Amino acid sequence: MRVYTRRGDDGTTGLLYGGRVDKDDARTEAYGTTDEAVSVLGIARASLAGEPAWRDAVLRVQRELFVVGAQLATDVSQWDRLDAGVGRVTGEMVESLERDIDELTERYPLPQAFTVPGGRAPGAAIDLARTIVRRAERQVVRLYRVEGLTDDVPLRYLNRLSDYLFVLARAVEGGEHTPTRDG
């Protein structure tokens, strides 16, 4: 099997379960951005070699972002073919993030000022992933508006995920943070 197919040479890409869209379509922008977040989280995970609990937390998010990407890479008319939690985002995935956010903020209270990323390399990578997820969220909002989508679970997941990544970065940094201002 070859990596290249040449089918995209015309500026289009295939969707799961059929159909083609332009490579700069709102849909491809959205799922491509989730893929970008997965890659940046890979940098964080690689930096957490001696910290298996944090590595596992990051890996879980990477896997879940593949679920988000799969749903976004599927025409809405085919969403009923996607398996929950495998190719389709579920409400339980959102609720799980909420529980994790609550648990982490209990252990590592939120900073009372804006935080400058970079206390540790993995925390900085997680913060970068957070900003990429926010961009994906904005792109999904546009996709919903353009296509009139009504299943809001992927959007809720991305919104919650960016919050989770913020508190995860703070936790990975041991609750330490650098405020935007001295004093």
Mean of pLDDT over the chain: 92
Kindly report the pTM of this predicted structure: 0.92
CB-CB contact of 68 with 34 (8 Å): yes
- Residue at 114 is within a domain: yes
- Residue at 105 is within a domain: yes
Domain of residue 36, CATH code: 1.20.1200.10
- Residue at 163 is within a domain: yes
Flag residues of the chain having pLDDT under 70.
178-180, 183
- Domain extent, residue 37, equals 19-174
- The whole-number pLDDT of residue 149 equals 79
Query: How many structural domains is the chain composed of?
Result: 1
b/e burial code for range 29-40 (CB count within 10 A of at least 16 → b): bbbbbbbbbbeb
- The whole-number pLDDT of residue 33 equals 98
